[in-house]
């Protein structure tokens, strides 16, 4: 669930639509505003709570509208089929202010499909090499996992670190991106390096 420390969007009411998408890692809730994708949530997060939180911050209860999110649905299908390496949907960044947004945007721009980066490396890429703890916080609260690929951020000492969808899902995503010939994450090998 998104952090309750987020302020409402300038007191305005923002229209929100949502739909569910079936994927190999389980169903996902996706929500968007007219600006762009605002939330991707795993079932274990409790979708009613996610929708309540969006309503509280954006001023209106999200409305189910599956067809309006066809482009997002199609891109998720392509990603899980191994046919898409980068999402190309507009993002509404209201839930990732300041340095969190910088971290998320840096991650999207510089850490490619099939590669991983440590929290410290991502902090350095984002221009604040001493802010690895803040990077960890940004990844833990990332409201748009998979599209903003926080699963590619791992601990420098080997373990996967945390993930909103659970570590088994994080491992599945890394294995999907590594391809069928790479050893599984369970073998302790973390794939690749970031693009510099």
pLDDT number for residue 27: 97
Q: Which two tokens stand for residue 180?
A: 């069928």
Asked if 146 contacts 163 with a C-beta cutoff of 8 angstroms, the reply is no
In the structure, what pLDDT confidence band is assigned to residue 11 with cuts at 50, 70 and 90? low
For residue 45, the SS3 value is helix
Instruction: List, for residues 109-149, the tens digit of each pLDDT value.
Output: 999 999 999 999 999 999 999 999 999 999 999 999 999 99
| Per-domain residue ranges of the chain | 1-95, 96-187
Task: Please give the CATH topology (third level) of the domain spanning 96-187.
Answer: Arc Repressor Mutant, subunit A (1.10.10)
pTM of the predicted model as reported, rounded to 2 decimal places: 0.85
Task: Please give the CATH topology (third level) of the domain spanning 1-95.
Answer: Double Stranded RNA Binding Domain (3.30.160)
Residue 83 makes CB contacts below 8 A (sequence gap 6+) with: none
| 150 labelled catalytic | yes
Average pLDDT, integer, range 141-170: 92
Q: Which of 18-32, 53-67, 112-126 has the lowest mean pLDDT?
A: 53-67
- pLDDT higher than threshold 80 for residue 97: yes
- pLDDT higher than threshold 90 for residue 8: no
CA gap 26, 109 in Å, rounded: 27
Query: Sign of the C-alpha dihedral, residues 166, 172, 178, 181?
Result: positive
What is the number of other CB atoms lying within 10 angstroms of the CB of residue 13?
Answer: 11
Average pLDDT, integer, range 65-90: 94
Q: Choosing from 25, 32, 150, 154, which is the catalytic residue? A: 150
Helix (H) or strand (E) holding 170: helix 167-178
In the structure, what pLDDT confidence band is assigned to residue 12 with cuts at 50, 70 and 90? low
Query: What region does 52 belong to: left with phi over 0, alpha with psi -120 to 50, or beta?
Result: alpha
CA gap 81, 69 in Å, rounded: 18
CA gap 100, 134 in Å, rounded: 8
Backbone angles phi, psi at 24, to 5 degrees: -65, -15
pLDDT number for residue 39: 96
Question: Whole-number mean pLDDT of the chain?
Answer: 86
Average pLDDT, integer, range 15-32: 96
What percent of the chain is modeled with pLDDT above 90?
73
- State the alpha helices, DSSP H only, in 2-126: 47-58, 70-80, 98-110, 119-125
């Amino acid at each position: 669930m998104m952090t309750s420390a987020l302020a409402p969007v300038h007191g305005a009411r923002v229209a929100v639509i949502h739909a569910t998408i079936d994927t190999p890692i389980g169903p996902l809730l996706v929500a968007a505003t007219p600006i762009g994708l605002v939330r991707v949530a795993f079932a274990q997060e409790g979708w009613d709570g996610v929708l309540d939180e969006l309503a509280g911050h954006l001023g209106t209860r999200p409305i189910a509208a599956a067809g309006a999110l066809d482009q997002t649905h199609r891109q998720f299908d392509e990603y899980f089929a191994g046919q898409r390496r980068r999402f190309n949907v507009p993002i509404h960044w209201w839930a990732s202010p300041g340095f969190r947004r910088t971290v998320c945007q840096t991650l999207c721009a510089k850490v490619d499909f099939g590669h991983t980066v440590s929290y410290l490396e991502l902090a350095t890429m984002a221009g604040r090499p001493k802010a690895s703890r803040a990077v960890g916080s940004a990844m833990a609260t990332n409201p748009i996992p998979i599209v903003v690929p926080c699963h590619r951020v791992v601990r420098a000492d080997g373990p996967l670190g945390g993930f909103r969808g659970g570590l088994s899902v994080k491992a599945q995503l890394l294995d999907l991106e590594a391809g069928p010939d790479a050893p599984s994450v369970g073998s302790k090998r973390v794939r690749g390096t970031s693009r510099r």
